[in-house]
A and B are shown apart, each in its own frame.
Chain A
Amino acid sequence: DQQVKQNSPSLSVQEGRISILNCDYTNSMFDYFLWYKKYPAEGPTFLISISSIKDKNEDGRFTVFLNKSAKHLSLHIVPSQPGDSAVYFCAASAYYGGATNKLIFGTGTLLAIQP
């Protein structure tokens, strides 16, 4: 039972263009969402988060959008840079409503930025 789904295993984007990574979830109890980035042989690194009371959060080149009715979130990276090439994981938790610190991760999307 995959509660957090990233349906695109990979994505290729030209340098300077926008990268859009998508994530869907099924559990309506989730109220906190995060994106992590992972390079080979390293641990995931936190990028950006959003709580369910917001529909958008922005940090520099990274913006996360949350559509609660569709149970969908997306990460926009603009402009895309070669260093953005990595695997991106979406994660979700019922932090506030469920009083848990447990994160459920998606399977990841490999983003390749082409020069």
Chain B
Amino acid sequence: QQQVRQSPQSLTVWEGETAILNCSYEDSTFDYFPWYWQFPRESPALLIAIRPVSNKKEDGRFTIFFNKREKKLSLHITDSQPGDSATYFCAASMGTNTGKLTFGDGTVLTVKP
């Protein structure tokens, strides 16, 4: 059973639109949820992260909305730019102890100019 699920698998938006990427998880003990983005042939890089004490985390054009009761979160990218085209991974970990991350399979975002 996959612990972290992402949808859609791929998403295409026009420049300037808002892209919404979804994530859900199974284990209620997860308490740290980072989003990573990955460009082709590069390593994943931390984009933004949230802990369940908050239901929203904003960083510029990127916002995480978190629903603890439903075990769902989403990443909203406003005013999408072609440079935002990448694969976005939702991840989760249990506590600050081991830091082990469980990743979803990613959403491939394409922003058309």
Q: Report if A and B associate in a common complex.
A: no
Query: Which residues of B are in contact with A by a Cβ distance under 8 Å?
Result: none
Query: Which residues of A are in contact with B by a Cβ distance under 8 Å?
Result: none
